[in-house]
Amino acid sequence: MAEILVGTSGYSFDDWVGNFYPAGQRKGDMLSFYARIFNTVEVNSTYYRIPHPAVIEQMQKKTPPGFVFILKANKAMTHESAPAQTVFADFLEICRPLVREGKFGGILAQFPWSFKNTGQNQEYLLSLREKLLPHPLFVEFRNAEWIKDEVFHVLEKGRIGYCSVDEPGLKGLVPPIARNTTDIGYVRLHGRNAKNWWASGGVSDRYDYLYSEDELKGWLSKIRDLARATEKTYVFFNNCHAGQAAKNAQLMKTLLNLDMESRRQ
């Protein structure tokens, strides 16, 4: 069975202090503390702005050998119809420090609900794959139109990883199916806050949700199946409000360990 790495979508949040980080935790020491508990993280800040490679270099220095970073694709790549070519070159530059240290897991491209399953958009996915070579690329869809065997075949042929998701069971959103289209499995759990998903109060309200133990247990068999079919599987929690992602990620690690122990007996 593949190695399963569990972490969160981001780590540098003020409202995690006192909920996950100790009271008085300095922002500059958050990643060092985080890396004592988890062995992987999604860096979401790269979605908003591509930093200087030195910033990524300093981040990796705060983590031990074997720690794995996933960088979120810049929003120009996923939310603009004609991104400047310099965006891709700049993004590849920030991957270098992680590649050099053996700490780079790949790039997550999260597309909005408005990105629908069309021939043109399928072609864009393939062109994005080419522009970001040789790094692993994972795509997350928000629109249920993409959940078709035809699309999975396109992803498999293009060596693009499918990101399985857990989110509210609202019409038009992606159902919680576990599927891999490369030899790496990828799961993101966003919470099931149906009331605030489309609300105008802000994105953070969308992810204000704490999974119950029973809800997480519902993913154990799916993650196990992914791990059997892949060489490595990532599980990330994006319900980041008030440290809920960290709490659920810790619980998921415990549940996965207990599940594996019970199957060894």
The pLDDT tens digits of the residues spanning 178-234 come to: 999 999 999 999 999 999 998 866 666 899 999 999 999 999 999 999 999 999 999
Angstrom distance (rounded) from CA 49 to CA 89: 14
Span 63-92, average pLDDT? 95
pTM for the whole structure: 0.95
- Are 188 and 163 spatial neighbours (Cβ–Cβ below 8 Å)? yes
- Are 176 and 166 spatial neighbours (Cβ–Cβ below 8 Å)? yes
Angstrom distance (rounded) from CA 172 to CA 264: 40
Q: How confident is residue 265, by pLDDT bands cut at 50, 70 and 90?
A: low
pLDDT of residue 202: 63
Phi, psi of 214 (to 5 degrees): -65, -40
Burial of residue 145 (number of CB atoms within 10 Å: 0-12, 13-18, 19+): middle
Tens-place pLDDT, residues 158-185 = 999 999 999 999 999 999 999 999 999 9
Angstrom distance (rounded) from CA 199 to CA 205: 8
- Are 75 and 48 spatial neighbours (Cβ–Cβ below 8 Å)? yes
